[in-house]
Structure 1
Amino acid sequence: MLAALALAQFICSFAGSNMNVMINDISEDLDTTVQGVQVAITVFLLVMAALMIPGGKLTDRYGRKRCFVVGLVVYGVGALLSAASPGLGVLILGNSVLEGVGTALLIPPVYILTTLLYPDLTSRARAFGIIMALGGIGAAAGPLIGGLITTGISWRAAFVFQALVIAVIVWLSRRIEDPLPPDPGRSFDTSGAVLSAAGLILVVMGILAADNNIWLMIGLIVLGVLVLGWFLRSSRAKERAGREPLLSLGLFRNRTSNLGLITQNVQWLLLMGTSFTVAAYLQVVRGYDAIQTGVIFTAATLGLLVTSLSAAALARRRSQRALITSGFVVAVAGVGVLVGLAASFSTAWAFVPGLLLVGLGLGLMLTPSVNVVQSSFPEERQGEISGLSRSVSNLGSSFGTAIAGTILVAGLTKGAYAVAMITLAVIGLGGLAAGALLPRTPAPSRAGDTPATAPGTRT
Structure 2
Amino acid sequence: MTDLKRALIPFALAQFICSFAGSNMNVMINDISADLDTTVAGVQLAITIFLLVMAALMIPGGRLTDRIGRKRCLTVGLLVYAAGALLSAAAPGLGVLILGNSLLEGVGTAMLIPPVYILTTLLFTSTTSRAKAFGAISALGGIGAAAGPLIGGLITTAVSWRAAFGFQAAVVLLIAVLSRLWVYDPLPPDPSQKMDTAGAVLSALGLVLLVSGILAADDNVWLMLGLLVAGAGVLAWFFASVRARERAGRQALLSTALFRNRTSNIGLITQCAQWLMLMGTSFVVSAYLQVERGYNAIETGLVFTATTAGLLISSLAAGRFARRRAQRTLILVGFVITVVGVVLLLTLVRVSDAVWAFAPGLFVLGFGLGGMLTPSVNVVQSAFGEDLQGEISGLSRSVSNLGSALGGAVAGTILVAHLGSRPGTGYTVAMLSVVLAGIIGLVAAWFLPRTPAPLPESGPDARTSAVAGRRVS
TM-score range relative to shorter protein: over 0.9
State whether structure 2 residue 172 is matched by structure 1 residue 166.
Answer: yes
CA distance in 2, matches of 1:331, 1:443: 27
Q: What CA RMSD, in Å, does the superposition of the two structures yield over aligned residues?
A: 1.3
Q: 1:107 — aligned with what?
A: 113
Of stretches 310-319 and 159-168 in structure 1, the one that deviates more from structure 2 is 310-319
Q: Secondary structure at the match of 2:191?
A: coil
> How many Å apart are 1:436 and its aligned residue?
1.4
**What residue identity is the alignment partner of 1:311?**
A
Matching of residues 408-447 of structure 1 within 5 Å: 408-412=415-419, 413-444=423-454
Name the aligned partner's letter for residue 284 of structure 2: T
Match of 2:196, as an amino acid? Answer: D
TM-score between the two structures when normalised by the length of structure 2:
0.93
Question: Which range moved further: 172-181 or 360-369?
Answer: 172-181
Identity between Structure 1 and Structure 2 (%): 70
Q: Say which SS state the counterpart of residue 151 (structure 1) adopts.
A: helix
Equivalent in the alignment of 1:455: none
User: What is aligned with 1:7?
Assistant: 13
Where does residue 222 of structure 1 map in the other structure?
Answer: 229
Shift of 1:447: 5.5
Task: Name the amino acid aligned to 1:205.
Answer: S
Partner of 1:60: 66
Alignment pair present for 1:390 and 2:400: no
Q: Which stretch of the first structure deviates more once superposed, 106-115 or 89-98?
A: 106-115
User: What is the aligned length?
Assistant: 451
- What is the alpha-carbon distance in structure 1 between the residues aligned to residue 88 and residue 456 of structure 2? 48
Checking the alignment, whether the CA contact within 8 Å between 1:115 and 1:374 is kept in structure 2 is: no
- Give, as a single letter, the amino acid of the residue that structure 2 aligns with 1:163: A
**Alignment-derived partner of residue 321 in structure 2:** 314
Identify which of 128, 139, 147 aligns with 2:134.
128
Aligned residue type for 1:57: R
The farther-off stretch of 89-98 and 64-73 is 64-73
Tell me what 1:325 maps to: 332
Q: Secondary structure at the match of 2:195?
A: coil
- Report the counterpart of residue 158 of structure 2 in structure 1: 152
- State the AA in 2 paired with 1:309: L
Distance 2:364 2:173 in 1: 34
Amino acid in the other structure paired with 2:110 = A
In the alignment, what sits opposite 1:269?
276
8 Å CA contact 1:130–1:309 kept in 2: the answer is: no
Is structure 2 residue 92 aligned with structure 1 residue 82? no
Pair 1:18-2:27 in alignment: no
Q: Which residue of the partner structure matches residue 212 of structure 1? A: 219
1:410 counterpart SS class: helix
- Mapped to 2, the partners of 1:107 and 1:444 lie a distance apart of 27
Bigger mean CA deviation after superposition, 308-317 or 331-340: 308-317
SS of the residue aligned with 2:91? Answer: coil
Alignment of 1:280-319 (within 5 A): 280-319=287-326
SS at structure 2 position matched to 1:86: coil
Query: What secondary structure is seen at the aligned counterpart in 2 of 1:56?
Result: helix
Question: Pick from 233, 238, 260: which aligns with 2:240?
Answer: 233
Corresponding residue for residue 342 of structure 1: 349
1:446 offset after TM fit, Å? 5.3
Where in structure 1 are there 5+ consecutive unaligned residues?
453-459
The letter of the residue matching 2:137 is I
Over residues 45-93 of structure 1, what are the superposed CA-to-partner deviations in whole Å (9 max), with x where a residue is unaligned?
0000000000011112222111111100000000000000000000000
Task: Write the letter of the residue equivalent to 1:139.
Answer: A
Match of 1:246 among 248, 253, 257: 253
Uncovered stretches (5+) of structure 2, i.e. residues with no partner: 1-6, 463-473
Instruction: Tell whether the 8 Å contact from 1:199 to 1:228 is kept in structure 2 after alignment.
Output: yes
Q: Which residue of 1 aligns with 2:470?
A: none
Which residue of 30, 35, 38 maps to 2:44?
38
Q: Residues 384 and 456 of structure 2 are in contact (CA less than 8 Å); yes or no, is this contact kept in structure 1? A: no
Superposition TM-score, scaled by structure 1 size = 0.96
Per mean C-alpha deviation after superposition, the further-off stretch among 272-281 and 440-449 is: 440-449
Give SS of 1:292's match.
helix
Is the aligned partner of 1:197 residue 2:204? yes
